[in-house]
């Protein structure tokens, strides 16, 4: 069996389930994002019960992207999640160099199957639950040319906005950090806080502070809205994380673009970073906007 290191896990995208992607992408587009790819129709990834409808959006940074996935969905298990949780952050996707090897390695190490291994025309992939039940998608590109397109690294807008990753709320934070380190080769970059108020910044093996500032955050439920969401849905993917050179300006731009303000920029006592919270248009899911992480790391 291959080791986590040999499987070359690289963070790729966060998926939002939403039934009106063509309307709800506009606040993102007004907030300095661009469409990196748009896949839909009856000819792309068709199964017996539906087909894919993916809108990929990027902002400023390289690689890490948003995927808005809309009904009819390809699979029954996706519809089941949609009927239970509705408009939410559904999964995080990692790209690997060997999807079959990854499936074997993850299932041996405490992951449980959500979507069986499948060979699509352009990639091999599958979905599992991590030990706390959050979805992990694994993808290995198999076509010579097909890739979800990427932006080059160039912070967007006058505020210098970049999407850099996501955060997840954990039940047992130390166990989750250990699992993502041991099983998915994530590396701890920064640890903040203590007791029930902790935040752990992690990344993958291809991190670069300038050209690929992609991060993965595991944390406790620190805000009231995080605690109440966790009480209802269990451990969950809690926020998309952005950094900006000018957080105040990025926050103003976001509210102008159609994101709803949750809390204005203020210094977070635990991370030390100027941080704001907003709700995005696909279902009032949370956006965390912070000062540049690469400067603090
Ligand atoms: Fe995905």
Q: What is the pLDDT along the chain (297 residues), one digit of tens a residue?
A: 999 999 999 999 999 999 999 999 999 999 999 999 988 776 667 667 777 789 999 999 877 999 999 988 888 889 999 999 999 999 999 999 999 999 999 999 999 999 999 998 889 999 999 999 999 999 999 999 999 998 888 899 999 999 999 999 999 999 999 999 999 999 999 999 999 999 999 999 999 988 899 999 999 999 999 999 999 999 999 999 999 999 999 999 999 999 999 999 999 999 999 999 999 999 999 999 999 997 554
Please tell me the distance between residue 12's alpha carbon and the centre of ligand 1 in angstroms: 9
Please tell me the distance between residue 119's alpha carbon and the centre of ligand 1 in angstroms: 15
pTM across the whole model:
0.95
Query: What is the DSSP annotation of 133-167?
Result: S-EEEEEEE-SSS-------S--BTTTTEEEEEEE
Please tell me the distance between residue 210's alpha carbon and the centre of ligand 1 in angstroms: 25
How far apart (Å, rounded) are the C-alpha atoms in residues 174 and 210?
28
Residues 81 and 28: beta-carbon distance below 8 Å: no
Please tell me the distance between residue 270's alpha carbon and the centre of ligand 1 in angstroms: 31
How far apart (Å, rounded) are the C-alpha atoms in residues 146 and 169?
33
The most distant pair of C-alpha atoms in the chain lies apart, rounded to whole Å, by 51
Report domain extents, the chain: 5-141, 161-296
- In angstroms, the Cα distances linking 100 to 96, 126, 164 are 10, 9, 28
Residues 161 and 31: beta-carbon distance below 8 Å: yes
Strand order in the sheet with 187-194: 187-194, 197-203, 215-219, 161-169, 236-244, 286-291, 274-279, 260-267
How far apart (Å, rounded) are the C-alpha atoms in residues 109 and 182?
9
| CATH-assigned architecture of domain 5-141 | Roll (3.10)
Please tell me the distance between residue 128's alpha carbon and the centre of ligand 1 in angstroms: 12
| 5-141 and 161-296, same CATH topology | yes
Quote the distance between the C-alpha of residue 167 and its chain's center. 8
Please tell me the distance between residue 156's alpha carbon and the centre of ligand 1 in angstroms: 24
Please tell me the distance between residue 137's alpha carbon and the centre of ligand 1 in angstroms: 6
CATH number of 161-296: 3.10.180.10
User: Which residue carries 């939410």 as its tokens?
Assistant: 88
H helix runs in the chain, sequence order: 21-30, 76-85, 99-108, 173-184, 224-233, 247-257, 293-296
């Amino acid at each position: 069996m291959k080791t986590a290191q040999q499987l070359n896990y690289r963070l790729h995208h966060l998926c939002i389930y939403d039934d009106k992607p063509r309307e709800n992408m506009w606040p993102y587009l007004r907030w300095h994002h661009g469409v990196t790819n748009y896949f839909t129709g009856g000819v792309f990834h068709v199964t017996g019960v539906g087909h894919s409808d993916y809108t990929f959006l990027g902002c400023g940074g390289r690689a890490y992207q948003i995927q808005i996935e809309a009904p009819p969905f390809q699979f029954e298990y996706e519809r089941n999640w949609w009927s239970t949780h509705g408009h939410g952050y559904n999964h995080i996707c990692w790209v690997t160099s060997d999807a079959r090897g990854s499936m074997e390695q993850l299932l041996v190490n405490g992951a449980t199957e959500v979507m069986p291994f499948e060979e699509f025309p352009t990639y091999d992939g599958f979905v599992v639950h991590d030990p706390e039940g959050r979805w992990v998608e694994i993808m290995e590109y198999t076509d010579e040319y097909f890739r979800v397109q990427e932006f080059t690294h160039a912070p967007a807008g006058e505020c210098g906005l970049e999407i850099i990753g996501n955060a997840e709320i954990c039940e047992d934070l130390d166990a989750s950090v250990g699992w993502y380190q041991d099983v998915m080769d994530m590396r701890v970059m920064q640890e903040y806080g203590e007791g029930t108020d902790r935040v752990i910044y992690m990344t993958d093996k291809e991190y670069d502070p300038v050209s690929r500032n992609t991060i993965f955050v595991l944390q406790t439920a620190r805000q009231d809205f995080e605690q109440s969401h966790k009480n209802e849905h269990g451990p969950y993917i809690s926020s998309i994380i952005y950094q900006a050179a000018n957080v105040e300006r990025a926050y103003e731009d976001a509210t102008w673009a159609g994101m709803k303000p949750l809390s204005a920029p203020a210094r977070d006592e635990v991370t030390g970073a100027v941080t704001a919270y907003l709700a995005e248009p696909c279902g009032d899911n949370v956006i965390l906007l912070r000062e540049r992480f690469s400067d603090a790391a």
